């Protein structure tokens, strides 16, 4: 049976982002405006930190979960230093 997670109040027990075939060396600047609320900024940091965990990545090609997580750990650290 299909569950609508947004209305059921339940959160899926497993998350996985698919690793790309390869990790490009270039980058794109993205500007985000995070609300000026300590709890919301903490939630944003926590969401970004999920991407820095290799366990949340699924390898389908050459790039490994560890490589993908490393990219987002660097982004997480950049974000922390900019706060």
The predicted model scores a pTM of 0.75
Q: What is the DSSP letter of 1?
A: -
Per-residue tens of pLDDT for the chain, all 83 residues: 444 555 555 555 566 899 999 999 888 988 888 899 999 999 999 999 999 999 999 999 999 999 999 999 999 999 899 87
Alpha-carbon separation of residue 31 from 5, 16, 34, 35, 79 (angstroms): 29, 25, 10, 13, 11
């Amino acid at each position: 049976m299909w569950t609508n997670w947004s209305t059921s109040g339940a959160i899926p027990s497993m998350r996985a982002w698919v690793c790309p075939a390869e990790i490009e060396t270039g980058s794109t600047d993205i500007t985000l405006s995070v609300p000026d609320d300590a709890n919301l900024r903490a939630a944003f940091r926590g969401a970004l930190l999920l991407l820095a965990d290799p366990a949340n990545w699924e390898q389908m090609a050459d790039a490994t979960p560890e490589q993908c997580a490393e990219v987002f750990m660097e982004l997480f650290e950049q974000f922390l230093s900019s706060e």
